Structure 1
Amino acid sequence: MRHRGDVVAVLARTVREVEAAAQRGRVTPAVRTTFQAVALLLREERARIRAAAGSDSQRAEQLKRLDGVATILATTAVRDAGLLALLAEDAVVSDAARSLSREILREVGIEPAAEEVPAVEPVAAPAPPERRVVPQSVISRQLANPFLAPDFSAAPQRAPRPRRLAGWELLGPLLSSFERAGSGEPACMPLPAPSSRLTPKGLELMPHQAQLVAAAAEGHRTFLLADEPGLGKTAQALLAAEAANAYPLLVVVPNVVKTNWAREAGLWTPHRAATVVQGNGDTVDGFANIVVVNYEVLDRHVGWLGDFGFRGMVVDEAHFIKNKTSQRSQHVLELSDRIRSRPARPLLMALTGTPLINDIEDFRAIWQFLGWIDEDKPRTELMDALEEAGLTPADPGFYAAARRCVIDLGIVRRRKVDVAADIPARRIADLPVELDGAAGRSIRAAEQDLARRLVARYESALAARESATVVEGIDAELVRRVARWELKDANEAKSGDNVFTMMRRIGQAKAGLAADYAAQLARSAGKVVFFAKHVDVMDAAEQTFARQGVRFSSIRGDQTPTARQKNIDAFVEDPAVAVAVCSLTAAGVGLNLQVASNIVLAELSWTDAEQTQAIDRSHRIGQTEPVTAWRIIAAQTIDARIADLIDSKAGLAARALDGSDAEVSSSADMQLEALVGLLTDALSTSPALGAGSSAGH
């Protein structure tokens, strides 16, 4: 009989053959079978060597030889996504690969052990291969240790318990228990005293936020966080992950809030790297602690996400997965199953502002994501709680007790009115969005053209000076003069790109995203006021609402007084009218829209005063809830610069009203400052202007 060490020699020879085939681009089914057989034997041989008797030096030498084979196998897998998928923990080993591995053992004179093949349940067909991608940086991360076998020794083992409720159908009564509850029944699990231990320096959690973080710190690991919009669910989720050390953390969100999640992660967990999955994931950081992906691209990334080793998962706007037959719901549930299959107790959080008493059937998928139920029955933790209650669905007290059992698993629901003392009566929340596609590229190109035009005017004016005055660095006075010239030309221009046309194009590009978010708010928290400056932005938003089945009223400047009042009355009095689409100039004054406590500002004003007037349509005497204005901002454009300017001028305006000497800025001032900032930034990056500017050249 040949020596056992010959196995490594045969593996080395075989893996070289696979490597050569991959280099030639001829990865046939037979090559994949050989690849998987080598990987299977490699794992088995590694485990055998570690468990075998002998000296440490002998084991180290044998493991070193195996590491050489593993390196070739891993670098070969990088060439072909199909090969890489065969290295996943849950990859199904084909019968052909098992047979070939046994032949390899027999080749070196080793009789393989009797094979025990576990029954494999049928799995859903994967998405078409051409849609699946694996970002290169994720491959690099996987190569760090592609053969690390999962250790399930720490997985909790529970002895079977007799089930008094085993014969009862329970999911229907559990759902019904929420519909039967009275309006005064609690909808929130008991929470510990608030703790700010994990809050970054310079930031402050509101007490209701700190309570949830404290619950995670005490060991609670599943949450259906159903706070109303505006109560800071994002910060709670990020700091709960910090308290649970739930990294790496997967965050699945709607496209409109993807950028905001990355920004909030940088704010609340600055020491944790966050990466956003865009498109095919070419810019993904495979070594990040927090991975943010939107529902729309989840289908092409679900493969590598399932293998990433996440210890926590957050699903934002979780009612998006209510339809369990939809692809997005199936992908989310698949990822949840894979995360929960690992030994460590993962953190799972479903975030939604949708009231729990509406369409409770929609929460089946969310409960399943959290691991509270499976397809047709409660899972262990919920079943244990129901058993301990000592009641059956035939008993009068069952429904109240069952509802309490579900809530105690992790339902957290707070309304604005419940925590009004914790939050400002009026606040502005910025929601940055990425302008993707051709429109976004066109806007960024136009902004670059404007910056180049301003730089050319500055340099031309600098060269034309008659004096020999030398100005160190950037001449701030000349910058302002050039900005004034540009602003004058823009006011007189009939066509061409300028600061006004650019802001209008940004508004048009944001319209659909802003309307999507307003629709989400309307479903979660009731009536919403949607403000825009331009008619075409209002038109685009109304088309989005109509497509999504969201009823709206339209309040514009070109309406007759009768038509205008009819639309106002419809929004205020008709519960089915969810959104008021308002012109910022026509509806910014003289209206009482306090029936809504959420406002969406789809386009930015040129002054803080105009913005404030719009917000005050809802924030006025008689308003019983804190008002939140959601300002939609196009990230990495002049839109973000103008938002900062509005905020900085707002402080000056407030001091002026208090009697200081500060002047309240006009819209022309704001436009000028935006151009000054754009030109200054462009000049700061210009190498020709780094050492100072002279007029005599």
Structure 2
Amino acid sequence: MARRRVDRSGADRSSRNRSRRRQDDDGLIPVLAKAVREVEAAVERRQLTAGQRSRLQAVALLVREERARIQGDSSVPEARANNDRKRLDGVATILAQIVAREPSLFAELDGDVSETTQRLMREMRHAAGIAPAQDDEVATPATAPQPTERKAPPPPPSVRAAQLANPFLTPDFSRASAKVQGHLAGWELIGPILNAFEHPAPGAPACMALPEPRGTTAPKGLDLMAHQARLLAAASAGHRTFLLADEPGLGKTAQALLAAQVANAYPLLAVVPNVVKTNWAREAQQWTPGRSVTVIHGDGQTIDGFADIVVVNYEVLDRHVDWIGDHGFRGMVVDEAHYIKNKKSQRSQHVIEVSDRIRKRVSRPLLMALTGTPLVNDIDDFRAIWQFLGWIEERRPGDELTAALEKTGFTPADHAFYPAARSAVIDLGIVRRRKVDVAADIPARRIADLPVELEGAAGRSISQAEKQLAQRLVGRYQAALEHRRTGEVTDGIDHALVRLVAEREVAEGGDETTGDNVFTMVRKIGQAKAELAADYAAQLARSAGKVVFFAKHLDVMDTAAETFAKHDIRHTTIRGDQTSTARQKAIDAFVNDPDVGVIICSLTAAGVGINLQVASNVVLAELSWTNAEQTQAIDRVHRIGQTEPVTAWRIIAAQTIDARIAELIDTKAGLAGRALDGSDEEVVSSADIQVEALVSMLTNALATAPDAS
């Protein structure tokens, strides 16, 4: 009997183990584990595609969603919940390791949720046996199920002391504006206002009227330019909201700091990218030396709660929204404000929340959004910035804008409404100046293309890969052609279908099991150009002085560093995986040490917010996908303080898709040029460039294969 009891106990234990294994093999977590391993393998093979980037983003979003579901489901046994949490932690650990290895993926963890990501999330839920929600909505970081109560960390001790001690922290509700009701009641106005910017009349003004400079002076040893002094005159006259969209290099940081001084908007909160947090503190000490500055790091325990200027990066702001919103700030500056373009992201919602709470306590705070590229992909990028400034609410214009629109006497049914609405928004505080108009003393800049021939095995490999990519596109085209024919056929080619094939290829990121796609092609070309570009930069450093070397990928940066070491050229590096202290040390070494000839910069980590005008030569080893990103990089050198003509040397692989991408970048204007500057040039985004490059490749392949159609 004892033996039979032991056997039955062993059988029960075996049955429980089988049951646990079945549970572990079911549900969403194994699907996420498989997906994250696919991304990990792609990173290890250096074949990271847009599709894999979307897959990583989908996994990250679903991990958050599943963790919140487990926490909120009281019906799940505690042992099972703990097991699931451990498995989710394992997936999250792999995500962290992937991002640490490929820092460019940081942007995917809090970026826009693309249609590809949404599709992948639906597919993963389906594979896990999860029925789609009725509205099939994607849970973004902002909309994912959250714990029932967020426990906010307490404010740092010095902040508590400041809140108790400072009388200026009491609310100021004076001069509160009244709600406006008039002939526009009932009209949907946000869409028509955005249309007024998307389709402006050629030459329409892009900047509010600014007064002549007054007596504002800069600290000893620093000079204000006329365009900077005009904005300060407006602040001195009482204007309090600004979308400062000056072209990069025109001193937006200095204008914001001095505007706070003339408006007495202290304490001032500056929300900035992590890469420029240290530099912002330095700039504050330089331009407003009489004001104390503190920087929030991590848990915030080391900050000075009594400081006049508080600098925080977007990521740390997320941890301290509660006490920051109650601290009594009278001014708020958001640097690189295009970072908040996605209203659904946690980053954007927290910035807007702090702004709302400041405006509820202070009747007319100073609010400034700084960005040289206010529009990146779509006219809707304006929405979050305008809401931060208080110009619009979630679904309607703010009271001040509504009053201005009422005064026009027009409705969206009137053609005259649109230019009047555009002017009304601009008068709220859009300030846009171009270098060519206001900074004639900044030397000229030019972009010089240096075609290079990719020889040897690398060149042959890329040539073969391009042929395979073209053949795959032709195959897709022919398969689609068997089922449908759309659009007008010219020279035997259905051009509408060509575009559909290209758009699908970009959206899906290609199938890496059958060959390279446009993203891996461009990366391979960058790797092949790396040593050639670094050799040229080394020649420049020896003959013309300091050089700024830009690349997109870490392996290209590593190759460049090895090349400079071979040439005995001292160099420093700015890359995404550095601490802010290491980054600033690298910048200081390049700027101040005459023996440091080159700084190797990541396009994503060093493309904004830093001053490198000690150099006048820039080498672009890899192409950007947009003109805006390329311009931002060049403007690290071409800015106020530059005394030499600036040349950007763009290294282009001849007779490859690289050359076509360069042409597309040069012939397309950015969205900001059309919406703000009244340009009538065509609007283009990074996705457009990718699609156009593939359209060109597929069209050429079909033209040389008469039977393809």
With the length of structure 1 as denominator, give the TM-score of the two structures: 0.46
TM-score (ref. length: structure 2): 0.45
The higher relative CO (CA closer than 8 Å, separation ≥ 6) is in 2
Q: Which has the larger radius of gyration?
A: 1
